Amino acid sequence: MAKTILFGGLTPLHELFIKGAVEGFGYRAQFLPNPDNESLRVGREYCNRGMCNPTYYTVGNLIKFLKEKASQGIPVEEEFLFVTVGACGPCRFGMYETEYLHALKEAGFKNFKVSILNQSEFSSEGDFKLTPSLVWALVKAVWLADIVRDLGYQLRPYEVERGSVDREIDRVSREIYEALKGRAGVLELYSLLKGFRRRLEAIPFDYTRVKPVISVIGEFWAHTTESDGNYHIHRWLEEEGAEVRPEPVAGWIDYQLFIETEKIKRQMKVKGFSFDRLKRLLAVRAMAFVFRSLYQLFRAPFSFRPKALPSQKLLSELASPYFDYMVVGGEGHLEVAKHVYSVKYKKAHMVVSVKPFGCMPSTQSDGAQVKVLSDYPDSIFISVETSGDGEVNVKSRVQMKLYEAKKAADEEFKSLLKNLKVSYSDFKSLFSLPEFQKPFIKLSSNFIGTASRALWANRLKLKSSLETVEEVL
Ligand code: SF4
């Protein structure tokens, strides 16, 4: 193909790895710059009225890019092809393709081509051909980006030397990009991850810092992007002293497969059994199994520290008192399910739900979250709407809740010290030993905060070190 494929809309890590995977199949690929508020302005200028925020940001970002290139004398309609994910609704997502074409025409690019990938069927329309081996390469790329990103958010808050984790992430990202471009197999990628772990082992970490764990959920684009589109909420929370749990893109794909399975099961119930339906059911189930196993495999080099993909069945059960899982559109029941999951299974001190301005499914979820909050009064939950402006207001609301989360993390840690009858300075002196400054020390799953998890998992060593000191004295 002569044209360069343009794509965007995820995080910089995902986009780099996707570029590698696509280039491995002989395409020329380029990801768009991160969307900013100028993209939003351009989007509002050319899109129809009443769209949701992600539409304005993503469509505006493409037009902004094309206008810049056109002003440099590049014939963009011959040079580029835009590839994006689409669906048939039921929310505004179903109108993305039309909206892209409409806005491109308004901006003077009426012959510009857009190719749509169907997210639930893994098929494509237009000039970009989605073959099974390309799907597999894209899955590897996205999973790797999820894992590396998750690790970054888990480790950075505890690094002793600021910037050391990001330095290693930059290095492994370049390696993974090159490997994907060379169509590396799973084993080669696995060994790159092992090399990444070895280099992380050389960095010192301080796990005595007590920090609240914050889960960022919400509408898919709004909770995934690391741009003006959500006020860079992940990195901002980290700077405010939190340990952030971002949502993996793999969870979204797992959800699509789960819904597809449920749809086929319902068709069998209502329309009757057929071998074709059975074949489709088995194929989707097998795909989900293989994809989840690959995710597990990529977690393995890091002692399974990156967050596991929760069972979709469990999530649908957790959401069921509040939201029917067959009501699809946006994140469907997932926003509610992830909130309940975080509180019930003690996964985070606080949940931030990011809702883009004009998002119908997130508005529905927010209604249901009120009932979740009355059933789980201990939950520290905040839903914020991102509209491009209003950043100061959103951040100051989150800061107020963050104060509560910091207090909760502190209380969890102090009561653990009290129960174990040890002091903070005892804990600090044990964790100043080089073996406890390693990135992948033992962590318990009985607590939320990383300091508490580290203290509980290593309590016996702490006790025995204290006894040895007493004997010497
Ligand atoms: S989920 Fe909300 S923000 Fe996302 S495309 Fe649908 S309406 Fe827009």
What is the DSSP annotation of 202-234?
Answer: TS-B-TT----EEEEEESHHHHH--SGGGTTHH
Q: Which protein residues touch ligand 1 with a CB less than 6 Å away?
A: 52, 54, 91-93, 219, 221, 330, 356, 359-362
Closest atom of ligand 1 relative to the 221 alpha carbon: 4
pLDDT value of position 86? 72
Hey, which of 333, 357, 362, 384 would you mutate to test ligand 1's pocket, going by the most ligand atoms within 8 Å of its Cβ?
362
Rounded distance from Cα 451 to ligand 1 centre (Å):
37
Rounded distance from Cα 339 to ligand 1 centre (Å):
19
State yes or no: pLDDT of 473 exceeds 60. Answer: no
H-type alpha helices, 300-390? 312-319, 334-344, 360-375
State yes or no: pLDDT of 123 exceeds 80. Answer: no
Closest atom of ligand 1 relative to the 91 alpha carbon: 6
- Predicted confidence (pLDDT) per residue in 187-196, tens digit: 999 999 999 9
The mean pLDDT of the chain is 94
Rounded distance from Cα 84 to ligand 1 centre (Å):
15
Closest atom of ligand 1 relative to the 54 alpha carbon: 3
pLDDT value of position 94? 79
- Predicted confidence (pLDDT) per residue in 94-121, tens digit: 778 888 999 999 999 999 999 888 766 6
- Predicted confidence (pLDDT) per residue in 42-79, tens digit: 999 999 988 889 999 999 999 999 999 999 999 999 99
Residue of minimum CA distance from atom 1 in ligand 1: 330
Hey, which of 47, 58, 93, 354 would you mutate to test ligand 1's pocket, going by the most ligand atoms within 8 Å of its Cβ?
93
- Predicted confidence (pLDDT) per residue in 297-308, tens digit: 999 999 999 999
Residue of minimum CA distance from atom 2 in ligand 1: 359
- Predicted confidence (pLDDT) per residue in 8-26, tens digit: 989 999 999 999 999 999 9
Hey, which of 40, 85, 91 would you mutate to test ligand 1's pocket, going by the most ligand atoms within 8 Å of its Cβ?
91
Rounded distance from Cα 354 to ligand 1 centre (Å):
12
pLDDT value of position 117? 83
State yes or no: pLDDT of 122 exceeds 80. Answer: no
pLDDT value of position 119? 64
* Domains of the chain, residue spans: 32-130, 134-201, 213-411, 421-472
What string of H, E and C letters represents the secondary structure of the chain? Answer: CCCEEEECCCCHHHHHHHHHHHHCCCCEEEECCCCCHHHHHHHHHHCCCCCCHHHHHHHHHHHHHHHHHHHCCCCHHHHEEEEEEECCCCCHHHHHHHHHHHHHHHCCCCCCEEEEEECCCCEEECCCCCCHHHHHHHHHHHHHHHHHHHHHHHHHHHECCCCHHHHHHHHHHHHHHHHHHCCCCHHHHHHHHHHHHHHHHCCCECCCCCCCEEEEEECHHHHHCCCHHHCCHHHHHHHCCCEEECCCHHHHHHHHHHHHHHHHHHHHHHHCCCHHHHHHHHHHHHHHHHHHHHHHHHHHHHCCCCCCCCCHHHHHHHHCCCCCCCCCCCCCCHHHHHHHHHHHCCCCCEEEEEEECCCHHHHHHHHHHHHHHHHCCCCCEEEEEEECECHHHHHHHHHHHHHHHHHHHHHHHHHHHHHHCCCHHHHHHHCCCHHHCCCCCCCCCCCCCHHHHHHHHCHHHHHHHHHHHHHHC
Hey, which of 56, 96, 221 would you mutate to test ligand 1's pocket, going by the most ligand atoms within 8 Å of its Cβ?
221
| pTM of the complete model | 0.95
Rounded distance from Cα 223 to ligand 1 centre (Å):
12
Rounded distance from Cα 219 to ligand 1 centre (Å):
7
Residue 287 pLDDT level (bands cut at 50, 70, 90): very high
- Predicted confidence (pLDDT) per residue in 164-209, tens digit: 999 999 999 999 999 999 999 999 999 999 999 999 999 999 999 9
Residue of minimum CA distance from atom 7 in ligand 1: 359
Residues 46/163, Cβ–Cβ less than 8 Å: no
